[in-house]
Amino acid sequence: MQTIVCMKWGTRYPSDFVNRLWSMIQRHTARPTQLICYTDDPVGIDADVITAPIPDINIPERVAITGWRKIAIWRDDLEHLSGDVLFFDLDMVITGSIDPFFDYEPGHYCVVENFTQRGQEIGNTSIFRMPVGKYPNIFTRFNEDPEGVLAQYDIEQQYISGDIAAQRFWPREWCVSFKHDLIPSWPMNFFVTPKLPEDVISVAFTGKPDPDEAAIGAWPVSAGWKKLYKHVRPTPWIMENWR
């Protein structure tokens, strides 16, 4: 049984994002696979998805709704799970077979190399695979001294990569960033629709736009002047896959 986990907290992502993830997983695996969603609100999540409370963690309130919350699933008593477990962010779009993610370098922490820090040995935790219980220090160090960890690292993926010397990066073509790899550079992003490469397995939607926004060509921005360069054309292949 292949095990995939995700997390949903707060209000940014509705239950529909979990259900779409489960639907994509089912279409893109040839093996028995289960999805476990750790959440503070299971309402509306497909009954075939296993839901569980977000594991307890000593996390400062100011970062409680950020990516640091993911450190909670590094507990060594994670729902009695063992072996390699694959994690997906809720804003991922799966476009190919996910089985290679389980076959690659078994027993190691595997992660996509961070899209904006290539060559710096830093992973991006939009998608990663962890061997449950192999790196207990990830959780215990943070849980015992969160302020010390936060003083040393800006984001949780830097902390994990800094602690695990034996991390492995997925082949680059397996996982790409919609924003950093597929949207054409300015000014061509106003005229050219992002294309989906043939060998891609999953597309990460880091930050904004989210999949539903990019599909219709919407890119919410906090400052009006950013509209001068933050633009994406409607991208039909997103909804063809994100369902």
Is pLDDT above 80 for 79?
Answer: no
Rounded CA separation 20/45 (Å): 10
Rounded CA separation 19/44 (Å): 9
- Domains located in the chain, CATH noted: 2-173 (3.90.550.10), 175-241 (no CATH)
Sign for the pseudo-dihedral over CA of 89, 207, 14, 75: positive
pLDDT tens digits along 228-238? 999 999 999 99
Q: Which of 85, 121, 104, 73 is nearest to 201 (CA)?
A: 104
Is pLDDT above 90 for 223?
Answer: no
Name the pLDDT band for 227 (thresholds 50, 70, 90): confident
pLDDT tens digits along 141-187? 999 999 999 999 999 999 999 999 899 999 999 999 999 999 999 99
